Amino acid sequence: MSLDTVDIAGTTPERVQPFAELGLKPDEYQRIREILGRRPTSSELAMYSVMWSEHCSYKSSKVHLRQFGDKAPKSEALLVGIGENAGVVDVGQGYAVTFKIESHNHPSFVEPYQGAATGVGGIVRDILTMGARPIAVMDPLRFGAADAPDTRRVLTGIVAGIGGYGNCLGLPNIGGEVVFDETYAGNPLVNALCVGVMRHDQIKLAKASGAGNLVVLFGAKTGGDGIGGVSVLASETFGAGGSTKRPSVQVGDPFTEKVLIECSLEIFAEDLVVGIQDLGGAGLSCATSELASAGTGGMRVALDDVPLRDPSLSPEEILMSESQERMCAIVEPSKIARFLEICKKWDVTATVIGEVTDGVRLVITWHGQTIVDVPPRTVAHEGPVYSRPFSKPDYVDRVNAEKLTIPMPKTAAEVRSAVLQLMSSPNMADKSWVTSQYDKYVQGNTIQSQPEDSGMVRIDETTQLGIAISTDANAPWSYLNPYEGAKLALAEAARNIATAGAKPLAVTNCLNFGSPEDPGVMWQFAETVRGLADGCLEMGLPVTGGNVSFYNQTGDVAILPTPVIGVLGVIQDVRTRTPMAFDRPGLDLYLLGETRNDLAGSEWAYMHHQRGGIAPQSDLQHEMRLIDALLEGQSIFEAAHDLSQGGLAASLSEMALRHNIGATVLLEGEIAVELLSETPGRVVVAIDKGDAHALQSIAQKYDIAITKIGVTGGTTLSINDAEIALDDLRSAFVDTIPRLFG
C-alpha cells in the first residue's frame, strides 16, 4: 500500500480506516475529520487515537477534575500546579520539591515485571523533566486475594520489577502499601510515586517556543515495544478471558535511564533547553503535540530522522511506540553543539528531528512527504470531553443498611486469639519480604522508610532540611461512602506526615476506578473527586497533579474505588523526627483522639467477609488540630504511631515488635471496640513520665481527647487480662507473606 500522505488523504475521503480498532468511537472519528477538513492520514489517526485515549486525554474525568482548580486553597508554597509533568512546591532555603504519582496498572497485569519496572521509569522521567534530581520513589500496590493462584505470579513479578528498576537507578524506595482484596484479581494496582529536588531557578516546563529552535530527541532508540501500550491498554476493560487488547508492554532498561538522568541534569545545569518533555504514554505523539500545544508556534518534525532499534517500523508505529528512556528537548541553535557534546560524553544518542516554526501547525514528514499536518492543541489538549452519566449505585444503600455480625472477642483468651489472627492476616502481616527487595538507603539521605508511617529523606546535608511523604487509601471506606473515603484518605496521609514531625504542604493523587461507562462507577469517581477537593480546600493543601486510572474492571466486576492520596510535608531538621516505635521500657503510652464503634470497612470486618455498614465521618477540623498538636509536641514524643488499618491492636503490635519491647496496656470500655475499631483521627504516643503535664497542656490547647493507656516494657504485649508473648506475636506477624510468596 502506498504511503498515506496528507495529499492522498485529501483526495481519498472514502478510504475505510480502522478507527474502532484503535479505540476511537464513531463520533470521535467524525470530529477528527471535521477538525482536519478531510479524513486523517493513517499517521494522524494513530496520533489522535493514542492522545484521545482515556489514559492520555482524561476525557471522562476532566469535568470533575476541574474542582481541584476551582476549589484550590491559597498556598504560598505552590510554585507549579496542575498542568505540567509534575507539581512543584517551595520547601524553604531556596529548595523546590516536585512529586507526582501515576499508575501502570494494566501493563503490570499483562507482564508484571516490565509493567511495574517501566511504571517506575516513567514517573522518574516526569520528575526529571521538571528540572529536578529524582531522590526517592514509593509504590502503593493492590492485589487480588493473597491465596489466589494468579496473585503469586502478579505480585512476585511486580515486586521484582519495582526493585530491579529502582535499585539500578540508585533511588531509595521509602514507602508504599501492599493490600489484598479479591476485587483486584485481574486488575492489580501499581501506583508509582517519585519525588525530586531542585533550586527555584532550575524549574523546567514542557513547552516549545521560539521559531527556529530545534527539536531534539535524546536517550534510547525507538523500538517496537509498547506500541499503543499504556495509552490503549489502560483505556480498555479486561474481559472475563483477559485483556481485549494486548499490545506489547514497554520494556525498560534502568541503566540507560540512569545515564539519561545524569546527562539531562548536566544539560539543565548549563541552561541548554527552552522546554523539555519525556516520552511516556503515547510516545512521540504525546511529546511533539504537547510541546507544540504549550508553546508559542508550530513545529515541523522529520520522522525518518528518529533513531530506530527496528528499521522496519512504519511511521504509525514510530509515532505510537512507547519505548522507554527517551526525552524530547527544545534547544536554541546557538546551544545545540554543547547539548550534543554533553550527550556524547554520556554516550546518549541525540538527534535533531525538527524545529519550532512560526506557524500554528504540527507538521511531520516521512522521507520528504507530509504525513501529519494538524493543529497541535486538537491532539494534545482539545480532545473529547464527556459528561458521562452517573448515578448512585443500588449497592450503596443496601450495604449501608447492613448490620455487622462480626464475632467480638470478650475473654482474655479471645482477645489474644483475635490479635494474633489480625496480625497474621495478609493485609496486616509484615511486608518485609516485599520491601527487603527494594534498596531503602542508597544515596545516604533516607531518614526513615517502611514500615514507618511515612518516608523521609534529607535534602540538605548542612541544614538537615528534609521532606516526608505518605500515600494512603482505604478502599473499603470509599466503597461504603466515596465522598468520605477520599477525605479520610487525605486525612490519614496528612496525619502520617505529622506523626513524624513534618508539616503537610501539598497533595498528589492516583484515582483508580472501574469503567467510566458504568454510571455507578462514575458516581463513585465524581463523589471521590468532590470529597478530595473539599477536603484539600478545608485543610489548605493544594492538589499539584496526579493521575486517573479507569477501566480497572474484569467483565462487570469493578475494583473497589481506590483513591490513593499522597501528601508531602517539610521538616526543618530531620534529626528531630519522631520515630514510629518506642525503643526502651518505662515510657508512658497515651492515646490521642476518641475511639468510637467504627468497624464498618475495618480489617476485622473484612477478615470475617463483611463489607457493610456506615463508613466513619471525617472531621478535618479535628485532624488539623491533631496535626498542630503533633508538631508542637514533637520535642517530647519518644514515638508516635498513627491508628488506621487494624486499629489500636495493630498499632500496639507494630510498635512493640519494632524493637522487641513489650507493653502493659489497660483499656476501659468494650475491649473489642477499643482494640479493633478504626476510628480516624487517633495516634498513640510514647513519652517520658516527666512530660505528662506538657502533653496534657498541648492536648487541652488543641482540644484533643487524651487517655493514658499503658507503659512500655517486658517481653509481652499485655492488654487487660490478655498476655501475648512477643515471640508468638512476631511469628504470627512475619510468617504469612513468606509462606504465601517466598
Q: What residues are annotated to the active site? A: 55, 104
Q: Cβ(626)–Cβ(495) under 8 Å?
A: yes
Angle between helix 482-499 and helix 519-539 axes, rounded to 10 deg: 40
Q: How many CB atoms lie within 10 A of CB 703?
A: 11
Q: Cβ(240)–Cβ(353) under 8 Å?
A: no
CA 237, CA 290: separation in Å to the nearest integer? 27
Which DSSP state fits 58? -
Grid coordinates representing 409 are: 472477642
**Alpha carbon 525 to its chain's center:** 16
Sign of the CA dihedral with 634 first, then 638, 644, and 647 last:
negative
CA 378, CA 369: separation in Å to the nearest integer? 22
CA 472, CA 621: separation in Å to the nearest integer? 19
For the chain, percent helix, then strand, then coil, each to nearest 5?
A: 40, 25, 40
161: left (phi over 0), alpha (psi -120 to 50) or beta: alpha
Grid coordinates representing 481 are: 461512602
Instruction: Report residue 459: phi and psi, to 5°.
Output: -115, -10
Q: Which residues lie closer than 8 Å to 14 by C-beta, 6 or more apart? A: none
Rounded to a whole number, what is the largest CA-CA distance in the chain? Answer: 87
Cross-strand bridge partners of residue 366: 369
CA 366, CA 99: separation in Å to the nearest integer? 37
CA 391, CA 556: separation in Å to the nearest integer? 16
Assign 356 to helix, strand or coil: strand
Q: List alpha helices for 601-665, DSSP H.
A: 603-607, 620-632, 647-659
Instruction: Report residue 192: phi and psi, to 5°.
Output: -115, 130
Cross-strand bridge partners of residue 216: 329, 352
Q: What value, to the nearest 5°, has the Cα angle with vertex 658 and ends 655 and 664?
A: 45
CA 290, CA 276: separation in Å to the nearest integer? 10
Closest CA to 549 of 568, 521, 530, 519: 521
Closest CA to 471 of 497, 434, 446: 497
200 burial (CB, 10 Å; 0-12 / 13-18 / 19+) is exposed
Which DSSP state fits 239? B
Ordered DSSP codes for 658-720: HHT--EEE---S-HHHHHH---SS-EEEEE-GGGHHHHHHHHHHTT--EEEEEEE-SSEEEET
C-alpha distance from residue 87 to each of 203, 358, 377, 569 (Å)? 11, 29, 22, 14
